[in-house]
Chains A and B, each alone.
Chain A
Amino acid sequence: MIKIELLERSYPFQSIRWMIEGKIMDTNKGMKAVQLWKDEDLLAWHIKWRDALAEHTGIMTNRMIQTITGEKVLSTDLGFITVHDVVEEAFPIFDHPKQIGQFLGKYLACTATEEDDREVPIIPDLERDFDIRFFEDLSQWDILQKLNLEAKKRVTKVRELLKNHSQIVYHNIVPPIESLIQARSIHHQLFWETSEKKPISCYEALRNVLHEWHTEGHGAKIKEVLDGIDETFPLSEERGTALLANCLYPWELRSFVANALDNDGTGTMEQHFQSFAQEWDISRQLVKDVAGWLVNSREGVVQG
Chain B
Amino acid sequence: MKETLSTPSIRAILFHYDLFPQKLEAIGKIVKVETRYGTFALKQTKMTREEGEWFIHVIRRLDRMNYPFVVPIIPTKYGDYLAMDDHSTYYLMPWYEDHHEFRHPVQPEETLIEEIAKLHGLTERVQDYSEESLLESYNHLKKRWDLRKLEVEKFVDRIEAHTFYSPFEMAFLTHFERVSQMAQEAERNLDLWLEKAKELKSYRSVLCHGRVKRNHALFDPYGAAHFINFEKAVLDSPARDLATLFRHFFHEEPWNDIDGLHWLAIYEKQFALFDDERHLFISYLAFPESIYQMMDHYVKPNRTISELACVKQLERRLLTMGRIHRLMSEMYKKE
A and B bind? yes
B18 near A187 with CB under 8 A, answer no
Residue A29 lies at the interface, judged by CB distance under 8 Å to chain B: yes
B8 near A66 with CB under 8 A, answer no
Chain A contacts of B18 at CB under 8 A?
Answer: 12, 29-30
In the bound complex, CA of A186 to CA of B79 (Å): 20
A60 near B16 with CB under 8 A, answer yes
Residue in A58, A66, A70, A186 whose CB lies within 8 Å of B15: A186
Whole-angstrom distance from the CB of A157 to the nearest CB of chain B? 40
B78 near A187 with CB under 8 A, answer no
B8 near A51 with CB under 8 A, answer no
User: What is the number of residues of chain A that contact chain B, defined by CB distance less than 8 Å?
Assistant: 19
* A65 and B12 in contact, given A29-B18, A30-B18, A58-B86 (Cβ under 8 angstroms): no
A58 near B12 with CB under 8 A, answer no
Chain B contacts of A30 at CB under 8 A?
Answer: 18, 20
B77 near A58 with CB under 8 A, answer no
In the bound complex, CA of A65 to CA of B16 (Å): 10
Chain B contacts of A65 at CB under 8 A?
Answer: 77-78
In the bound complex, CA of A51 to CA of B77 (Å): 12
Residue of chain A at shortest CB distance from B52: A55
User: Which residues, 39 to 61 on A, are CB-close (under 8 Å) to B?
Assistant: 51, 54-55, 58, 60
Residue B84 lies at the interface, judged by CB distance under 8 Å to chain A: yes
Residue of chain A at shortest CB distance from B36: A28
Residue B127 lies at the interface, judged by CB distance under 8 Å to chain A: no
A64 near B9 with CB under 8 A, answer no
Residue in A29, A55, A189 whose CB lies within 8 Å of B12: A189
B79 near A187 with CB under 8 A, answer no
Residue B11 lies at the interface, judged by CB distance under 8 Å to chain A: yes
Chain A contacts of B8 at CB under 8 A?
Answer: 187-189
B12 near A51 with CB under 8 A, answer no
Chain B contacts of A66 at CB under 8 A?
Answer: 75, 77-79
Task: List the interface of chain B (C-beta within 8 A of A).
Answer: 8-9, 11-12, 15-16, 18, 20, 75, 77-79, 84-86
11 A-B residue pairs with CB within 8 Å: A60-B12, A60-B15, A60-B16, A64-B78, A65-B78, A66-B79, A70-B79, A72-B79, A187-B9, A188-B12, A189-B8
In the complex, the 10 A-B pairs of residues with the closest C-beta atoms, listed nearest first: A29-B18, A189-B12, A187-B8, A187-B12, A187-B11, A58-B84, A66-B79, A63-B78, A188-B8, A65-B77
